Structure formats: C-alpha cells, structure tokens
Copies of this chain bind each other. A is one copy, B any other.
Amino acid sequence: MHFGSDNQTGASTQVLEMIQKANSGYTHGYGEDKWTDRAVQALKDTFECDLEAFFVVTGTAANALALSCLVQPWETVLCHHQAHILIDESTAPEFFTGGARLMSITKRAGKITKEHLHEYFRLAGTDYPHNTRAQALSFAQSSELGQVYTPQEITTLCAAAKHYGMSIHMDGARFANAVAALDCTPAEITWQAGVDVMSLGATKNGALAAEAVIFFNTELARKYRERRKRAGHLLSKGRFFGAQFIGWLENGHWLDLARHANQLASQLAEGLSAIPNIRLAWPVQANEVFLILPKTTTESLEAAGATFYEWYPQGLPPETELHKGETFIRLVTSFTTRNEDIAAFCAVAGK
C-alpha cells in the first residue's frame, strides 16, 4: 500500500540488465560512447524525428537546464500554479537561468489553456526592460494534478504561446503515463504539437536515475553542453545512463511499465469511487489519484500502513473546497504496484 510517489520504488529488471551489459570494456567518458549514441538513436526512433538529447540524473536538473536554454536572466517563464518547477524544485530554475522569473498563470485549473496565456498578456506590462518579458511556457504532461493534455490541447496551447513569441518546454517526468493513457505516438504530443524541448523522465517509471533533455528545436540546444558541464551534470561514465534509456525504451518496455501504473490507478479510482464519503478530486487519467476523504479514513489508512501525501489545498479543482473533517490526498501508482495493494487500500478505506 505504498502510494507516496513513483520514485519510492526501485528500478525495472530490464533497465538493470542493460547497465550490466554496458559494464564491459573501455569507452570514452562524458557521453562520447556508443551506449549514449544508441540511446539517442532510440529516442529518435521513439519520437520519429531528428533531435538532440542529453542525459542527466534528476528531473530538477533536466527541467532547469532546459529552461536555461529558453530564457535570458531577465525574462520570465510562465507555468501552472502547481508546477513541479514552481513548488518542488527549490529555486533551481532561478539558479540555472541566472535569475529568470517563474510566474504561475493558473489558479485552481487542472491544465493550462490558451485563455490563461491571453489573460496573462492582457495584464502584463510591456515597458521593457522595466517589466520582464515572458519568453517561455512550461507545462507538464501528465500534469502535476494527474491530468493528461490531449494532442489537440497541446497544439492549441503551443500555438498561443508561439503567438506571443515564447518557446515551449514540456516537463515529462510522467510522460510515459501520458502516452500510455492517450494511446497516441510520442511525436503527436511533442514536436508535432509545437513543443520545443522536453524533459523525459525515466526515473519514476523504471530507471535508477535517468532523465533526458530532448531538444526538438535543436537551435535551442546550442549552449546546452556548456550549461550542463558547469552545473556538474556531465556524467563521466556516460555509458551507464545511455544504457538505462536503451533498456527502458527497448521493445516498448517504458509504455508497458506506464500502462501497468495507469491501469492500477484506474482500479484504485474505481474501487474508491464506490465508497461513500470519498470523492475523486480530479478525473484519473494517468497514474495519480487525488482524493477527498474523511480525516478518520485517512487515519485508518495510515494506521494500516498505507503511505501517501496530503496534498496542497490549492491543488483542488475550481469551486471544490474541503468540508470540515475532510482531507485532500494524493496517491501515486507505479510499475511495481500490485493488485493486492489496491484491494487492501480500498478495503481499509471502505471500512
């Protein structure tokens, strides 16, 4: 009954085996090796396009390095009010960009829409350099509230962003879950929809520590190598990080893992929906379940050994408020969640 986060489980066997395979012989260091090359090729195949890709070990590094390629230190990145870059990554975006600003443009919405952009630009001052100019939009797929943007939604959002001259970053910490949920191609919800650069996370979905920064707009990657090096994120034994991506992508393994997590989240949602006094805060679209439930139930679950996080009240949907005695929690499933975990959780919750 561990639903704290999908980074609290281990690595998939297929990923570990590829690390093992890569552990042979000599290679150049610093990502100039055939394992890294193969991993980049696997990404090109997966996204069906040319691209530049770089491997780092944390989502925070991936996001912040990506953003640092999109904005100058005196510019602004627009994002969701619950964006991981805004609330869970300390001031890493400011650090890597040299002091650019993050600005939330939503309030209670589950996803960013073009209307949020229009409203921002309607109000924003344009007396540069006194005012700061918004030059990048960052959004998460699937979102921090477990919502999945459709290809059409992304296309519309990116078009609006580009209308305002912005570059677009997608935080794909749970991108695999989104692809699995939409049953679309990775290309359809990235470069074909207008995304310039993405952080593709493997760590939460089967890797040890492996995130890719992928530039579909390769022009933006020009200074990436310098930024990565001076941030201490250029790995000397690069082969082991390329290997993780090879193992993860091979034969659709990443989507198998994500489908499992999504499927278990659906089961969890279904089981919990049937219980009186428990409400789903958001529709369950990927591998995250946001629940409103009595505090007494939350306590019973904790007492029974279930793990999960109480969530930020501002993560509630519009016009949804907690009643007295209710709590708002987040449950995350992963590739290692088992049917019996779901059953056990629902049993305790329904008592």
Contact = CB atoms under 8 A, between A and B. Distances in A.
Nearest to A84: B130
A74 interface: yes
**Of residues A30, A90, A92, which shows the largest number of chain B Cβ atoms within 10 Å of its Cβ?**
A90
B90 A240 contact: no
Given A73-B230, A90-B230, A233-B61, A123 B240 contact: no
Interface stretch (A96-104, A245-253, A270-278, A342-350): A96-104
Interface stretch (A2-10, A37-45, A175-183): A2-10
Contacts of A75: 91
A56 B232 contact: yes
A60 B232 contact: yes
B91 A237 contact: no
A100 B232 CA distance: 16
A29 B10 CA distance: 10
Contacts of A22: 10
A192 interface: no
Contact of A94 (B60, B101, B232): B101
Given A16-B20, A23-B10, A100 B92 contact: no
Interface in A87-118: 87-92, 94-96, 98-102
Nearest to A101: B91
A218 interface: no
Contact of A92 (B16, B229, B240): B229
A129 interface: yes
Contacts of A5: 29, 236
Interface residues of A, number: 80
A157 interface: no
A225 interface: yes
A231 B232 contact: yes
Given A7-B29, A203-B237, A313-B123, A73 B91 contact: yes
B29 A232 contact: no
B94 A99 contact: yes
A125 B99 CA distance: 22
A62 B314 CA distance: 34
Nearest to A64: B232
Given A5-B29, A94-B230, 19 more contacts: A2-B26, A4-B26, A16-B19, A73-B95, A74-B91, A75-B91, A89-B130, A89-B229, A90-B131, A90-B132, A94-B94, A98-B98, A99-B230, A128-B226, A130-B229, A208-B237, A209-B235, A209-B236, A209-B241
12 contacts: A7-B29, A16-B20, A58-B235, A73-B91, A73-B98, A73-B230, A74-B230, A101-B102, A129-B225, A130-B229, A208-B240, A231-B231
